[in-house]
């Protein structure tokens, strides 16, 4: 598939999220993500507002579902989401019912391997259970906690090639990527490039980053889209 650029709206205010989304789309971003902070702050209302403002644009609802999977996916689909996220560490039945809800309501399912003892096996499990995409994810707290101990901060790039080679569905790498690493993801076979904290969102305050965000995003999108099929 051709590389896709997704912006994670890890904000806690819907008005700021709408402004950031509009800016990102002008810059060439393909997909919008209602990040977990936005869903916690605004819920279904936030997803509906994004859908009203941007008809036809894919919207990922980063639910990080662990239980009650069918209902969560159904609610987000009805609010306008096109993609929902379920965790690899959820029970097998939860992943199955999210996949079933995806089929019933026409939404795609992204499986997230955050926290898996074996990240590669977690990715395989998600594909086996029917997920359409795999998110290879090193968590915010995990990265910061390890770095606070003076140890090397883990990165999704550490095992990205192994995850890509283990599954046949498209892969997205998430978690503390530098701009250069994000742009390199298609080279690793991961065509879904997500831009978020700390690339475009202040990682500590969860507000839009200062500076020429639109100009920076445009350059990033141009570089990523210049890759061919992955």
The topology under which CATH files domain 4-225 is: TIM Barrel (3.20.20)
pLDDT of residue 212: 75
DSSP per residue, 158-193: GSHHHHHHH-SS-EEEESS--HHHHHHGGGGT--EE
Determine which helix (DSSP H) or strand (DSSP E) holds 143, and give its type and residue range: helix 140-148
What pLDDT does residue 217 have?
Answer: 87
pTM metric for this prediction? 0.92
| Residue 80 neighbours by CB under 8 Å, 6+ apart | 47, 48, 50, 51, 52, 59
Contacts of 135 (CB under 8 A, 6+ apart): 85, 110, 111, 112, 113, 114, 171, 172, 174
Going from the C-alpha of 3 to that of each of 79, 84, 99, 187, the distances in angstroms are 26, 19, 24, 10
Say which DSSP state 154 is in. Answer: P
Provide the token pair at 142.
């995990």
Contacts of 145 (CB under 8 A, 6+ apart): none
Q: Distance between CA 204 and CA 143 in Å, rounded?
A: 13
**pLDDT of 40:** 97
Check residue 159 and give its pLDDT: 97
| Nearest-angstrom CA–CA distance, 157 and 169 | 18
Domain extent listing, the chain = 4-225
Query: What is the chain's pLDDT, residue by residue, as a tens digit (230 residues)?
Result: 999 999 999 999 999 999 999 999 999 999 999 999 999 999 999 999 999 999 999 999 999 999 999 999 999 999 999 999 999 999 999 999 999 999 999 999 999 999 999 999 999 999 999 999 999 999 989 999 998 999 998 999 999 999 999 999 999 999 988 888 999 999 999 999 999 854 555 555 545 556 677 888 898 899 999 998 77
How is residue 130 written in tokens? 């029917």
Contact by Cβ (8 Å): 3, 230: yes
């Amino acid at each position: 598939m051709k590389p896709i650029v997704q912006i994670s709206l890890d904000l806690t205010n819907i008005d700021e999220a709408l402004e950031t989304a509009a800016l990102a789309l002008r810059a060439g971003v393909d997909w919008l993500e209602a990040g977990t902070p936005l869903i916690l702050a605004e819920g279904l209302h936030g997803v509906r507002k994004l859908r009203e403002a941007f008809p036809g644009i894919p919207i990922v609802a980063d639910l990080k579902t662990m239980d009650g999977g069918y209902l969560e996916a159904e609610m987000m689909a009805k609010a306008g989401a096109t993609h929902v996220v379920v965790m690899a560490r959820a029970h097998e039945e939860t992943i199955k019912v999210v996949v079933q809800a995806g089929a019933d309501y026409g939404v795609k399912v992204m499986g997230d391997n955050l926290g898996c003892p074996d990240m590669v096996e977690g990715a395989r499990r998600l594909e086996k259970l029917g997920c359409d995409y795999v998110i290879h994810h090193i968590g915010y707290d995990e990265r910061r906690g390890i770095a606070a101990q003076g140890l090397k901060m883990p990165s999704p790039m550490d095992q990205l090639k192994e995850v890509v080679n283990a599954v046949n569905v498209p892969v997205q790498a998430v978690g503390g990527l530098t701009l250069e690493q994000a742009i390199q993801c298609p080279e690793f076979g991961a065509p879904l490039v997500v831009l978020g904290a700390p690339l475009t969102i202040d990682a500590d305050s969860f507000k839009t980053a200062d500076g020429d965000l639109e100009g920076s995003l445009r350059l990033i999108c141009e570089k990523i889209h210049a890759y061919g099929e992955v």
